Amino acid sequence: MSDRLDDRARNGGRFLPRAFSYRAGDMTVAAVLALIGAFFVWQAARLDLGGVGLPGPGFFPLLLGAALVVLSIAIGIGRWQSSQGEAVELGHRDVLIAVAALMAVPLLFEPLGAAVTLGLLAAALLTLIARVRLPLAIAAAGLGMAACWYFFEVLLGVSLPAGPW
């Protein structure tokens, strides 16, 4: 515990960012992706798989989940056999902002609607990460949302959630 407090004192009272081995980080990500792939396989196997000529709703998730498991294991084995590599730091401000903003999207997508939610996401990321001035970020997000509306509503004929209005 004392070493952790000493590290915190050197970092100006912060616990993040923390340095980790590049190899260990890659192996951790490979393991998490393999677990996600296994979850997809498990859930897809409970659905109707159909056949090659007429695939059911579980066919492609099963195929993609199995591919994710196999490729993740290959990446993990490859990194296990490699050298330790340099250290990488986790906990950068911009990464934390992006993760928090992306986690808010599913919570706001239905209540606020697709256009407002994705517009807020774009404006927040442009302002907080890219450091674009707020009026320009709002204008760019508005143009992006107009392009999304045209693509989904007009070209594809898909209705996105409209929100309360």
Q: What is the pLDDT of residues 85-108, one digit of tens each?
A: 666 666 778 888 999 999 999 999
Does residue 10 carry a pLDDT above 90? no
Q: Which residues of 39-60 are buried (b: 16+ CB within 10 A; e: fewer)?
A: ebbeebeeeebeeeeeeeebbe
CA proximity to 89, closest of 25, 5, 28, 32? 25
Residue type, 145: M
**pLDDT, greater one: 67 or 4:** 67
User: For 41-59, what is the mean pLDDT?
Assistant: 87
